[in-house]
Amino acid sequence: MEWVTEKLTGHVGAILTGQQLNSLTDAGFNGLRNALFEHGVVVMPDQYLDPEAHIDLAKRFGEIDVNRFFNPVDGYLEIAEVRTKPEMTQVIGGTWHSDHSYDPAPAMCSILSARALPPYGGDTQFASMVAAADALSPGLRRMLEGLRACHTDASFGQSKVGLGGEPTAHREPVFHPVLIRHPQTEVQALYVNGDFTTHFEGWSAEESAPLLDYLYRFATQPVFTCRVRWAPGMVAIWDNRLVQHYATADYSGHARLMHRITVAGQPLN
Ligand code: SIN
């Protein structure tokens, strides 16, 4: 059985149907991984993964990279809880970002499984950093190719969504190229994000801000995006080197619970 693939938009995202994630053959898993690298984010409806199956799937991609700021799911340290309580006005991941960019070897992918959904809203939006890199003018691309940017986990210290409570979890800032090559496919992608990037190497934060702000706006313009509308049992997997994502906080007064596992990546060049 092959995956049936339906593209979500011109630049990013695909819905995959026809197979169950908890019983994938090696060929099925290879098809899933290739689709992830091709589309940046893949969405699989009607999967209803339990925690064990979620962990087993993640381990097929690589070692699990346990997030040091999120609360774990009861009994499963490997799974981060992405919970919105009805009284919360902000949500986890409610601004454009790439998971774990503050680490020396940022997470390769994140696997998000819907557990309890609000009656409406709570979509996750994705933006293709490949399409953004591709659309840069040759002059700006040449300049960015010579730059690295600093990423830090400091923003968790100001979190209003119940993350970052443990001060010893914070680590030293790291530098990554502004334009990276994907470790497996070597496609070029823009790799700066508003949550964790602070400045360009050798530039002050003040000097960096106008160009970084321009890049954040440029990279997340609607033409580079897709929107995942969640349904019960749905699972989405995204490659953090290829896309940024944004959790939409438009369901005030309602609860939402997702389970997330991040898979270890490698240093970026
Ligand atoms: C995240 O940023 O990983 C959370 C995404 C979501 O809850 O939609």
Catalytic residue among 99, 103, 195, 239: 99
Q: How many domains, in total, are found in the chain?
A: 1
Q: What is the pLDDT of residue 156?
A: 85
Q: pLDDT at residue 165 above 70?
A: no
Q: Based on the number of CB atoms within 10 Å of its own CB, is 232 exposed (0-12), middle (13-18) or buried (19 or more)?
A: exposed
pTM value is 0.97
Residue 50 has pLDDT above 80, yes or no: yes
Residue 181 annotated to the active site: no
Which of 69, 82, 250 has the most ligand 1 atoms within 8 A of CB, as the residue to mutate?
A: 82
Task: Compute the distance from residue 247 Cα to the ligand 1 centre, in Å.
Answer: 5
* Mean residue pLDDT across the chain: 96
Q: How far is the CA of 146 from the centre of ligand 1 (A)?
A: 31
Of residues 39, 83, 182, 260, which has the active-site annotation?
260
99 annotated active-site: yes
Please indicate, yes or no, if residue 80 is contained in any of the structural domains.
yes
CA distance 217 to 244: 12
User: Does residue 210 belong to any structural domain of this protein?
Assistant: yes
d(CA 97, CA 95): 6
What is the model's pLDDT at position 73?
96
Order of all β-strands in the sheet with 243-247: 225-228, 124-128, 243-247
Where residue 172 sits, what CATH number does that domain have? Answer: 3.60.130.10
Would 22 be classed as within a structural domain? no
pLDDT at residue 159, rounded to an integer: 77
Mean pLDDT of 229-255: 98
Indicate if 97 belongs to the active site: yes
Domain-located, residue 111: yes
pLDDT-derived band at 1, boundaries 50, 70, 90: confident
Between CA 188 and CA 193, with CA 191 as vertex, the angle to 5 degrees is 150
Per-residue pLDDT tens over the stretch 77-125: 999 999 999 999 899 999 999 999 999 999 999 999 999 999 999 999 9
Active site residue 74: no
Tell whether 13 is covered by a domain: no
192 near 149, Cβ under 8 Å? yes
